[in-house]
A and B are shown apart, each in its own frame.
Chain A
Amino acid sequence: MKLPDFDYHSPTSLDEAITLMATPNARVLAGGQSLLPIMAFRLAAPSALVDLRKIKGLDKIEITQDAIHLGPMVRWRDVERHEGLAAALPLLTQAMEHVAHYQIRNRGTVGGSLAHADPAAEFPGIAVTCDARIHLAGANGKRVVAAGDLFVGPLETCLQDGEIITSIELPRWPQARRWAFEEFSQRRGDFALAGIALFYDLDGERRAQNVHIGVIGATDRPRRLPGAEAALNGQALSDEVIAKACAAACAEVDPPTDIHGSAEYRRSLVGTLLQRALVKASS
């Protein structure tokens, strides 16, 4: 478990980073909490690492009228400690409490988490649930992709070679929005066996509208649960309605089986966690 040989660069501007990323098989280095273990296991052997830490401004958190902008180098610790984020997007800060342990939280970044695309990671789930827009820059210019389109499969994104995540944009919330985050992992700080992030708005008759439900851990990538959302949209949240939504959620996930959990167990967790999240959000 020693690192293979590689070149190391720490550019001071984004342009310089983009140029360096044209090197074949170069990889961005952010917090290194996922990339370095993968290299130690020899699952990756990049020719060069392009460290973003010296590029000014990439670790900024900005809250504007319409959106929250997170620089890719914002660390879990920064999210946790930020003055305004908890009020502006409570679902985000609540979910981040479940990420790893404090040593890792001191280094791990939001950009790294998205690019790494672990199906059980919290932040990608929040990005998908909250309709985040991901800003990318590469040799061929800039583009923006919806979080829902970013993830292709386990540890797989639509990023092209050399492309860098430069910013994450999350829409602002109405004050009265209902939300909840629930996840289950064997030990605190472990990757989730399953997790649910959700929000909805209540209309004048206290019916749920604009329901967004995202799932992590129980699918090959973070995704929304349209069946469960449909079961809730336009409904007042009764036990019966919640049960229907949970049944729909269980039916529309296709979880993997591995040594940490069977598909059947994970499917059941999705139902349990959705039920708990809906009860929490509605009370």
Chain B
Amino acid sequence: MRTVNTYIGSPVERVEDYRFLRGEGQYVGDLVREGQWHAAFVRSPVGHGVIRNIDCSAALAWPGVKAVLTAADIEGEIPKIPFRRPNPTIGPYAQPIIASGKVRYFGEPVAVILAESAEIAEDALAAIVLDIEQLPAAIDRQTCMSDKVVLFDHPGSNIATVFHANKGEVDAAFAAADVTVRGQFSTQRQTALPMETRGLLAEWDPKSNHLTVYGAAKLPFFNRKTMADLMGLPETAVDYIEVDVGGGFGARGEFYPEDFLVAFAARKFHKPIRWIEDRREHLTAIGHSREAECDVELAFSKDGTLLGMRGDLFVNVGAYVRPNGMTPVRNAAQFMSGPYRIPAIHLQAHAYVSNKTPAGTYRGPGRYEGSFFIERLMDLGAARLGMDRLALRRRNLVTDAEMPYPLAPVLPSDGRAETNCDSGDYRVCFDKCLEEFGWAQKAEFDGKLIDGRYHGLGIACFIEGGASGPSETARMEIEADGSVAVYAGSSAIGQGLETVLSQIAADALEISIDRIKLYHGSTTYLKEGWGSYGSRATVMGGSAVIDAATKLLEAFKVAAASRLKLDPSELTIVDGVARAKDGRSVPFDEVASMEIKADGRFDNWKPTYSYGTSAVHLAVDPGTGHVDVIDYTIVDDVGRIINPLTLHGQVTGAVVQGFGSAFSEELVYDADGTLLVGSLADYLIPVATDYPHVHCVSMESFPSPINPLGAKGAGEGGIISVGGAVANAVASALRDFGVQPSRMPLNPQRVWELIQDGKKALAST
């Protein structure tokens, strides 16, 4: 006989892996439809310009080319992609689904070629003659924010929004401070780079006027609504189908121009249209992120107590505001205080447009940036105060007694202005991290030159919001064979959702996990649903599954009772069998014909906050500037661990992604707005062998009080503190040269330059 909670908390191996490891995954690129056409996008070759003419005649004459679409083929006004998180000022900056009149970034879609094969479609790209009059581009913050080059005549300014994070009396806090530190820091433009590029297959059924879009990820329900609105269709006339997805990380699965254009072509030509993004295209077209700068100050009292934080953040959001384009900006303002108790805050976060690819979210949006900023300032503050950097942090970490702890509200509000940290004692992970890492033992290497390399230790702490609202749904049905079909509104983007939700369902139903069949992510399963973003799927989807399970067992009991002519209260359910005291019993399969089903739902606007600390030991080669990560330890508290294996994999992956941010990835533009990064030989992501020493420890000491699982959004947290920890360790290693990194990434050339600058400065004093 089974007991509750034998799956939750156990290292259940990923049920997905069986399929993937045998090559049985089905990605959108594996889908083939009879008579399908292939789309290729003609993209702007310049960063900023006026479209004078698009001559498609040669392309149309190309053997195998079926059609070419441009803005001229869209009747009426060119639709713009709506926002997921609207605010009062961003309206004019929404992205049109195809460029008309003007191009505003390198890679902006200007035409679509439809051909009988992808090869022909790509070949014909060269036959389109674009006459574009190039305009000066707005690339850097100075040019953009001074409105020297304006992207939109209306409203005539490049500032899309200024967010304010406000709390307490900040001027008074600074007036009362014994010590203040101020710094300017920046993080570089990046993208999430899922291994599977985007892809879509759209089918239009003229008989039923129905559109089906394959290749959904992250947000199938929002995208369905958006698509229906833009196409002038009822929502019920559109379905988004999720097949296997090779990674999302915040960027994949948002509504992009290609979503509309591929579907538009399917409807116009009554043909299945497939488009698989190639990698070069991906780098110019999917959401970018992380291009942020700050000028921020902290105020301390003599004993190291944080009194206040104030200053400005500047985020380059690219040419348009995409559906989630403001998320990193408002997040940076709200989460920059991180896990620290700061009674007075005033931050202004300026979102400005530029002639670069429009930005969106990337794992840990705004949080990675903010964490890097404040963690550098904490080290500078410790130096200024003459205090140990560990002691300074520990003193200011939020404790259990202060929960729920309010963060600074952010205005203009996008519906989530106010938020509270839900539970935890941030000192516990901190202490555990120092112990796991062996800080006391390693401290003797800090700042030392050993065998030609400078060793350094760094530390950084973080909080990670999860469980994004507003709700999630799930449905369960007892099947003929006695198994239970679970339909979840959450989507699987490679994070192990099938495994985790199956564990939760099996425990909630008290049956074996092999009897759970999990279906997810497609709009055909549920009337309403949300998806996977903001570290929500386990918490929100899992809680909806629990609700559905409770209701399903209730319905089963009623059905079994009617069959046995008993009152439901006289039955107990064990392992999918309703048992009466007299020994009679009814198993699941016997009532399957009675169509036992239940709808579950979990509504919740309050985020969870997991938190943690990471410590790093690294060594810098002063001759090459290369940084070798010798040990990286991260300890987080996730409220409740559903599956230690998948959690560990997610945290490790997030940390390694963070190394890409800290050391090597960068989307570089030239002054005209041309993206200079065209392949993975230019965009240097970490490879499997680069960072072998990552040690992740997860705790569950403080369950979240706001959901039935006690779980918190987890995994994503691993990326947040990497930049700060690494930069602090590099500073510590290179203290002999007075190096204080302020700009990311710390690629070998930059580290080498910091050492050269340090040497020069020393020589001149």
Contact = CB atoms under 8 A, between A and B. Distances in A.
Interface of A: 1-5, 41-42, 101, 184, 186-191, 193, 259-262, 265, 268-269, 272, 275-276
Interface of B: 118-119, 122-123, 126, 278-280, 623-626, 664, 666, 668, 676-679, 681-682, 684, 686-687, 689-690, 747-749, 752-753
Given A1-B280, A186-B747, A186-B748, A269 B624 contact: yes
B752 A2 contact: no
A184 B748 contact: yes
Nearest to A272: B623
Contacts of B119: 2-5
B752 A265 contact: yes
A145 B668 CA distance: 40
B687 A187 contact: yes
B626 A2 contact: no
A96 B748 CA distance: 23
Given A187-B684, A188-B689, A272-B624, 7 more contacts: A2-B119, A4-B123, A42-B126, A186-B684, A190-B684, A259-B666, A265-B749
B186 to A, nearest CB: 17
A187 B664 contact: yes
Contact of B752 (A187, A268, A275): A268
B623 A276 contact: yes
A216 to B, nearest CB: 15
A186 B122 CA distance: 32
A187 B624 CA distance: 13
A187 B752 CA distance: 16
B626 A259 contact: no
Given A1-B280, A42-B126, A187-B664, A259 B748 contact: no
Contacts of A42: 122, 126
A186 B683 CA distance: 11
B118 A2 contact: yes
Contacts of B626: 184, 186
Nearest to A193: B748
A262 B749 contact: yes
Closest 5 CB pairs of A and B: A272-B623, A1-B278, A2-B119, A265-B749, A184-B624
A137 B440 CA distance: 67
Nearest to B623: A272
Given A265-B753, A269-B624, A272-B623, A2 B748 contact: no
Given A2-B118, A188-B689, A261 B749 contact: yes
A189 B105 CA distance: 33
A189 B688 CA distance: 12
Contacts of B664: 186-187
Nearest to A184: B624
A188 B747 CA distance: 14
Contacts of B677: 259
Contacts of A190: 681, 684
Contacts of A101: 687
Nearest to A275: B623
B668 A2 contact: no
A259 B682 contact: yes
A40 to B, nearest CB: 8
27 contacts: A1-B122, A2-B118, A4-B119, A5-B119, A5-B123, A41-B678, A41-B679, A42-B122, A42-B126, A101-B687, A184-B626, A184-B748, A186-B626, A186-B664, A187-B684, A187-B687, A188-B687, A188-B689, A188-B690, A189-B687, A190-B681, A190-B684, A259-B677, A259-B682, A261-B749, A272-B624, A275-B623
B280 A41 contact: yes
A190 B748 CA distance: 14
Nearest to B670: A259
A262 B623 CA distance: 15
A190 B626 CA distance: 14
A145 to B, nearest CB: 29
